[in-house]
Amino acid sequence: MKITILGGAGFLGQKIAATLMADPRVETLTLFDLAQPRPPATPTAATCQIVTLAGDIAALPDAAIPEGTDLIFHLAAVVSAAAEADYELGRRVNLRGTDAVIDAARRLSKPPRLVFTSSVASFSGGQTALLPDDARQLPANSYGTQKAAAELMLADATRRGFLDAVTIRLPTIIIRPGRPNKAASSFVSSILREPLLGLPTELPVPDDFAVWVASPRTAVKWLLHAAFMPSAWLGADRGINPPGLSVTVAQMLAALEAVRPGARQLVTRKHDKAIADIVGGWPASFTAERARKHGFAPHETLQELVEAFIADDLEVTRRERLQG
């Protein structure tokens, strides 16, 4: 099996690659990103060939998705606040990049499975929303609009037989390793990650603000399940709302305090209207009935999520931050 991960330098791409490297079914694993990805560190010896490439996804080189590719993870994106701030960049990566991926799939002799990471930002509804699986996507920001448009492009490419797309509309992923990024939701990780590192951080929304979240561990399970499951049951609707966790900021800080007493004192309230306006329109909960019915893993508890970050990513993040 030949597999490509677009966005292979990102933390989800690296975690998926680390799992696939030891899978005996995988012959070649290609990691592509704007900067050349490093093969992920893993205690298990790789059983496949690793290829790493750098480039512009909107001008995707043929080597990123070579002939014989069976599976593509399309994780590459310009995230929410960055796409809002730089409209042209968001369109180039999130729309033209997806179009380039479709063109690459069309050149293959056999249609590949393609797993695409969309986002809850492709919906509106706000704090009181509990969205069913057939909820209409009405994004209130450029990032969500670009993700929803890319979903339609991939669904049409599936209908045409160019590829077999499965779209996972990821919740806000917490706790992200590394540094804060340009996502509007970056603070949701920061209010847990920074105090665990002993660092101060700011909270731009009220304590009763609710958000639909998922851990990296569970997100990887969902993406791998999407990669290898039968897809005929999806029909024309290729989008899946996975079974995340609806939590408030207060509940997150309580889980942090339960795991690391005193850590929540490093969180300072400082309202940021621009951030609040973007994330405030995102729905806080989904029913996720299709996903539960078709084998997508249920989410762990919030405290288990914090403990998983400590076990999986805290020391790696600490070393990265110390290196500057």
Active site residue 87: no
Mean pLDDT calculated for residue range 104-130: 96
> Which CATH number characterizes residue 232's domain?
3.40.50.720
Which residue range is the domain that position 33 belongs to?
2-123+131-171+215-240
Residue 30 in any domain: the answer is: yes
Between CA 130 and CA 153 the distance in angstroms is: 26
Residue 256 in any domain: the answer is: no
Q: How many CA atoms lie within 13 A of 63 on its CB side?
A: 10
Number of domains observed in the structure of the chain: 1
Residue 200 in any domain: the answer is: no
Q: What confidence tier does 298 reach under pLDDT thresholds 50, 70, 90?
A: very high
Q: How many CA atoms lie within 13 A of 82 on its CB side?
A: 14
Name which of 69-73, 76-80, 210-214 the model is least confident about: 76-80
Residue 149 in any domain: the answer is: yes
Residue 155 in any domain: the answer is: yes
Residue 246 in any domain: the answer is: no
Mean pLDDT calculated for residue range 303-309: 96
Mean pLDDT calculated for residue range 305-323: 93
Residue 181 in any domain: the answer is: no
Q: Are strands 245-248 and 210-214 parallel, antiparallel or unpaired?
A: antiparallel
| Active-site option among 32, 116, 123, 143 | 143
Structure tokens at 39: 């093969």
| pLDDT for position 323 | 75
Name which of 44-58, 207-221, 307-321 the model is least confident about: 44-58
> Residue 164's closest CA among 96, 233, 218, 100?
233
Residue 54 in any domain: the answer is: yes
Residue pair 253/207 in contact (Cβ under 8 Å)? The answer is: yes
Helix%, strand%, coil% for the chain, nearest 5 = 45, 20, 40
3-state secondary structure 224-285: HHHHHCCCHHHCCCCEECCCCEEEEHHHHHHHHHHHCCCHHHHEEECCCHHHHHHHCCCCCC
Q: Which residues, in sequence order, are CB contacts of 287 under 8 Å at separation 6+? A: 130, 131, 132, 133, 241
Structure tokens at 52: 């790493």
Cα-Cα-Cα-Cα dihedral sign, residues 322, 179, 52, 90: negative
